[in-house]
Amino acid sequence: KYPVVVVQTMARIIESTEEHGLERIAPIHTKPRTQGGIITLAANEVADFVEAKFLCVFTESGNSARRLSRLRPKIPMLAFAPDPAIRRRMAVTWGIQSTLVEHVSHTDRMFLQVDDYLLANDLAKVGDKVVVISGSPPGIEGTTNDIRIHNVGDAVHGKAPAYQNAG
């Protein structure tokens, strides 16, 4: 009976949601019960402190990415996964942008993957800081135990000694 009023009301609701919707989604405030939970919580705080451009998480199962997502970081999150099925599952995880990567045998190669992805997709510039969450040894589910502050480009350009033979 009042189609114009209905459309106007819907437009106001949509505009309000788009403008303020994500601010209303509160982080889940629970005390971490696992090593991975503690690592992701600490990484989120480190990323805020160093004003990182991205929080990057390597995940075999998607659990680390989901734990990070629960914190509702202000910083964009990138998940690197070697399994297409895990990547598809992460598509519905709040705030996670995921990409498929090859399995690696050394953590230094993970940083090459981060640099390659960020630079190839114009998401970061050389010298930007990112915080990387991973497990060591790589490729084993449930080993989330590492947080590193990484300068984009160091791995690709071999600036750090550990990267010189990683490629």
Q: For 98-121, how does the pLDDT look when each residue is reduced to its tens digit (9 = 90+)? A: 999 998 888 888 999 999 999 999
Look up the CATH architecture of domain 29-163.
Answer: 3-Layer(aba) Sandwich (3.40)
Distance CA 7, CA 122 (A): 38
Is residue 7 predicted with pLDDT exceeding 70? yes
| Rounded alpha-carbon distances, angstroms, from residue 42 to 37, 131, 149 | 9, 10, 12
| Sequence spans of domains, the chain | 29-163
Instruction: Tell me how many degrees the CA angle 43-81-37 measures, rounded to the nearest 5.
Output: 30
pLDDT, position 23: 59
Q: What is the tens place of the pLDDT at every residue in 29-64?
A: 678 888 888 899 999 999 999 999 999 999 999 999
Contact 156, 115 (CB under 8 A): yes
Instruction: Output the pTM of the full model.
Output: 0.77
Residues of the chain above pLDDT 90, percent: 50
Report which residue type is found at 92.
Answer: V
